[in-house]
Chain A
C-alpha cells in the first residue's frame, strides 16, 4: 500500500501532521478577519480565490485525472449560475431555497457535461479542446440571446436581485453577530465557501485513490491498453465530464447567490482559460498544486490592481503606465515564466514531474 500512501497529498509537511492541520485551520479562520482590515473588498477577493479553488479542482478531475483537455468548463459554471438565478430571483418570481437549487444546478450541469462528453469521446488533445471551446461559447451565446421570443435569461442585461443563500431567517447577505463577533456578509460566505472547498478536496483525494481514479489514470496513460484491461472508456470518460461539470454547477450557484447578479459576461472564454491556467500552472492532477494555482491566479491580479498605482506614484511621483494594461502584462509575463522554468507547474505531483522530465529527454 506504500504506493498509495505516497501519493496522498501532504498539505503541511512535517513530523506532526495534526500541528500542521491546526495551523492551517487557524490561518483559514483568520483570513476573513485579517482581509477585512483592508476593507470588505479583500474579503471578497478571498472568497473568489476559494470559489476558484472549487472550480479548478472540478476541472482537475477532467483535465488532471482523466487527461481530457476541456476549454469550455465555464459553460457548466454558467449553467449552475443561471439555474440559481432563474429559480431564486424576481425574474420569474420563483424563490426556491438554496438546498433545492444547488443540487438541481449540479444535476443540470452534470447533464450538460454528458451532453458535451458524448460526441467528443473519440477526440483527444487539441481536437477535444476545440470542440469544448465551441461548446463553452454556445452556452454563453445562448445565455446572451435567450431573451426572445420568451425572455428566459434576460439577455445581456443579466438577472439581478438574486436571493442570497438563506437558512431560515439567517441570511448570508447581512451582517450578524455571533458570540460578540460581528460577521459581515462576505465573511459568512467565506466560511461557506471554505466548507465547500474542503468537501471538493476530500472528493478529489478519494476519487484519485479509487477504482475510478485508477481507470482515469489508465486512460490518460494509454487508452488502448485501458480498453484491453476491460475498462469501458466511454463510460469512464463521461463520468469524468459529469463529475467535473457538477462541481462547476455548484460553484455557479454559489457565485450567483454571492453576487446577487449574473450576466453572460461572467462566462467568457477567458474565464475557462483562467481556470485551466490555474490547474496547469499549479500542477495538473496534484491537489495542493491546483489550490496554489487558484489562489495565485485570483490573488495576483488583484494585488497588482491595488499595488501598481501606489507603486508608480511612489517611484515616479505620477502614473506612467495605465495600471490596467500593466497588470495584465505582468500577469501574462508571470505565466510565461512559470511555464518556462517550471513546466510541470509550481507544485506538481512527483508523478507529473517525472512524466515531463522523461518526455524532455
Chain B
C-alpha cells in the first residue's frame, strides 16, 4: 500500500439540524487515485457528509481541503468547478431530457458559449457544440448506455439511470467522483457490472468516494473505508481491519456482541 498524495482532507466537519447532531467533528483523508468507502447504518450522516462536501449544505464547523486548496463550498456549482462531481441517492436526472442531453448538461461547466454565441451560432460556438455532443457520446459509450442515447432519461431502466447519472457527473471532468449509494436497489448482476464500472473509472484516474449500504461491494471495491455512526467516525482503515472492528460490528448489529 504505497502512500499516494492526498486529494481530500476533511477537518472536524460538523453539521446539526436543530438539536440533532448529524455530523460530529468528522475528519478523514482521501488519497488520489483510490476508491474510498463511507459506510454506516441508516441515518449515520453519510449523505449529510456528502452534501457538506458538495456545497449543498453549509457545515457549521470544520473545513475541507481539496487538492491543496481550502474549499469555499458555499454553492454546489463551485464544488463542481473545483472537481467534485456527485450522484444522488435518489437518482436526480433531468427526466424529460434525453440521455445524451443529460450528459451534455454536464459539459456546461467546461464550456463557454453564452447568449451571443447561442444566437449568432458563430464558428466557435458550433465547434464547441460539436465537441459537447462528441464528448457526451463518448461518455455514454464509456458507461455502456450509448444505445439509449436518444431515449428520455426517465424511460431508462433503473440500472441505466444510475449509469447515466455517473456519465453526467463524469462530464464535469471531476477529480473526485462521489457516488451516493449507487448500488441501492440493484440486483446481483447489476451490482457486479457497477463494480466493474467504478473500478474502470478509478483506473482512468478519477478518485472515487463511495457511500454504500452493500457491505460486500464496499469491502471488495474500496482500498480504505470509514465508518460513520450517529454522525461520528468510529473507524477508518483498510476493509479487512474495518470488518473486524468491534465498534463497527456493534454499530451494524446493534448492542454489544456477546
Q: B residues within 8 A CB of A229?
A: 77, 80, 105-106, 108-109, 168-169, 171-172
Residues of A195-227 at the interface with B, using a CB-CB cut-off of 8 Å, are: 202-203, 206-207, 210-215, 217-218, 221-222, 224-227
A232–B117 Cα distance when bound, in Å, is 18
Cβ of A239 within 8 Å of any chain B Cβ, yes or no, is yes
Residues of B56-108 at the interface with A, using a CB-CB cut-off of 8 Å, are: 56, 75-77, 80-81, 85-86, 88, 92-98, 100-101, 104-108
Cβ of A354 within 8 Å of any chain B Cβ, yes or no, is yes
In the complex, what residue of chain B is closest to A358 when comparing beta carbons?
B154
Indicate if the CB atoms of A3 and B101 lie closer than 8 Å: yes
Indicate if the CB atoms of A231 and B77 lie closer than 8 Å: yes
Q: B residues within 8 A CB of A179?
A: none
Instruction: Tell me whether chain A's interface is mostly helix, strand or loop, or mixed.
Output: helix
Residues of A334-361 at the interface with B, using a CB-CB cut-off of 8 Å, are: 351, 354-355, 358
Q: B residues within 8 A CB of A202?
A: 119
Indicate if the CB atoms of B113 and A210 lie closer than 8 Å: yes
Indicate if the CB atoms of B95 and A228 lie closer than 8 Å: no
Cβ of A230 within 8 Å of any chain B Cβ, yes or no, is yes
**Nearest CB in chain B: distance from A74 CB, A:** 23
In the complex, what residue of chain B is closest to A199 when comparing beta carbons?
B119
Indicate if the CB atoms of A227 and B94 lie closer than 8 Å: no
Indicate if the CB atoms of B121 and A218 lie closer than 8 Å: no
A2–B98 Cα distance when bound, in Å, is 10
In the complex, what residue of chain B is closest to A203 when comparing beta carbons?
B119
Cβ of A101 within 8 Å of any chain B Cβ, yes or no, is no
Indicate if the CB atoms of A3 and B150 lie closer than 8 Å: yes
Please list the residues of chain B having a beta carbon within 8 angstroms of any beta carbon in chain A: 54, 56, 75-77, 80-81, 85-86, 88, 92-98, 100-101, 104-109, 111, 113-115, 117-119, 121, 125, 128-129, 132-133, 149-150, 152, 154, 168-169, 171-172
Please list the residues of chain A having a beta carbon within 8 angstroms of any beta carbon in chain B: 1-3, 6, 202-203, 206-207, 210-215, 217-218, 221-222, 224-233, 239, 243, 351, 354-355, 358
